Structures are given as C-alpha cells and as structure tokens.
Amino acid sequence: MTEDKKRDSDYEEFLRQLREEIKDGFGAVMEDEPQVQLGSLDLVFTPDSELFPSELEEYRPEEKKLRLVKK
Amino acid sequence: MSYSRSRTHIATETKYSKIRREVIDDANAILPVQLKSVVSYSLITQKAIIEQRSWHNTFGRRVEWDWERDDYGYYHFLYQEPKRFELAIWWREMKLCALSLGQPTWSGSRLRLDFIESAPGDNPLKGSTFNLIEIAARIYAKHIDAHEIRLMKPVNANVIDFYCSKGYEYNSRGNFCFKVLR
C-alpha cells in the first residue's frame, strides 16, 4: 500500500471512529458551557461589571476599569 | 488596508484553504442524524461576519469584543495566519450559533483554539457548541498531524473545570487546557 493510500485509509478510519463516538449525540446539554473563550486577549474586568458577576472576584478584583487590552 | 503576501504565504494559504474546506465537508458529513438536518458547519464567511454583528450589546454576551478587528480578530487571522483554523456553526443555515478561531503551534504538532464564542441570547445550540467545535478541531488536527488540542488562557476556574470535565487537563505554567489526541 502506498504512503498516500495508507494515510487515506488511516484518515477514513479516524472519521469512522469519530462518527461512531458522536452518533448518539452529545448527551446532556452542558448548562455551564462558557459563552466565550478569548484566549489570545488580555482581558481586564471590574468587580462591578454587569457582564461578570461572582467570578470576577476570583479573577482580577483589583482592576478598576473594564477595557479590552490587545495582547 | 493592503497586505503584501509572499509566494510562500500564498502557497501555504492555498494548501490550508483546501484542508479547511475538507474539514468543513467531513465535519458536516459525520454529524449525527438527529443534528444533520438542523446543524451545519462553515468557514467564517461574510454572512457569518455580518450575523455576528447582532451579538454586540446582546444580553448574555460576556465580553464586548469585535470579531471584525484586523489587529486581533478574524481579519488578522485571515491575512496573517494562512494555517488558521476557522469555523462557524449554524442552525438551519440561518442562525449563527458559534464562531471559533485558532492556529497550529509553531512546530505544527498542536492545534490551539484562541477564540470560541457561542451566540449570546437565544441560541438553540447553547450547551452543545463546544462539543461541535471540538469535532471540527479534531478533524483539522488530524489533517495537520497535530497530536494535541490546546484551549488558551481559560478565563477563570469555572471555565477550567468545564474543560476538565470534557477530558482536558490544565497546564498552569502555560495557562491552557490541553487534550492529547489518540
């Protein structure tokens, strides 16, 4: 079997396994799924921001101003 | 704004554009039957860019940032990152439910997801969007022979816990959650 055919065969098997893994769906809907994940931005929050309630206190409570800081 | 691109950049963009289209096709093809009629993947098209504008100032949106920015948003990736991973997820091909952007690490052995956002407010796929994004990310990782997915800078401990519940581990030194792929 050529290298390309072996790679195609391996890829097809990967897709087959992935299809099998998800065929019944994803189970229960994840209620706590985060709305946003912005890993490449340095984000600064304020404790009194309406956007982020209690989790702000454990993140950066010392910040004064809500702003978006480009990395 | 004009961007001059080298021949190498153009060749890489062409190669990875083909990969991105194949990822979209394969991700759509393997969706479970119950989702196939209502859920679809696409690249981040102009339609997706226009649709995400309605996310601004929507109640429930966690951070006001701009996907259209050309210094850190989609257009930065479009013009500067030819190996980018990009994804839009739709409900009935009409409602934009999620967007994601990422890129391989420098060595190419890992795929990092830098941006993931579910449509705020009324979102029929709320609670499932990460699973859907991860499917496409795994297919893309397979295409580029990456053996790990990284979720960069999870914003707080709850988000870390969420990803850990999906089989990721947290690397505190690098501040990312990672999953080694089989």
Contacts of B60 in chain A (CB under 8 A): 35
Partner-chain residue, chosen from B63, B138, B151, that has the shortest CB–CB distance to A18:
B138
Residue A62 has pLDDT above 60, yes or no: no
Contacts of B114 in chain A (CB under 8 A): 38-40
Is the Cβ of B137 closer than 8 Å to some Cβ of chain A? Answer: no
What number is the average pLDDT over the span B16-38? 94
In this prediction the pTM is 0.84
From B46, B67, B45, select the one nearest B119 (Cα to Cα). B67
Q: Give the pLDDT confidence of B91-125 residue by residue, as tens digits.
A: 999 999 999 999 999 888 999 998 898 998 889 99
The alpha carbon torsion through B46, B56, A54, A47 (nearest 10 deg) reads: 120
Partner-chain residue, chosen from A52, A59, A68, that has the shortest CB–CB distance to B62:
A52
Separation in Å, CA of A2 to nearest CA in chain B: 18
What are A's interface residues with B at a Cβ cutoff of 8 A? 11, 14-15, 18-19, 22-26, 29-41, 43, 51-52, 55, 58-59, 68, 70-71
Mean pLDDT of all residues belonging to chain B: 90
Of A35-49, A53-67, B38-52, B125-139, minimum mean pLDDT range: A53-67
Is the Cβ of B72 closer than 8 Å to some Cβ of chain A? Answer: yes
Is there a contact between B153 and A39 if contact means CB atoms under 8 Å apart?
A: yes
Is there a contact between A32 and B158 if contact means CB atoms under 8 Å apart?
A: yes
State the ipTM, two decimals: 0.85
Residue A16 has pLDDT above 50, yes or no: yes
What number is the average pLDDT over the span B121-149? 93
Residue A30 has pLDDT above 80, yes or no: no
Contacts of A71 in chain B (CB under 8 A): 72
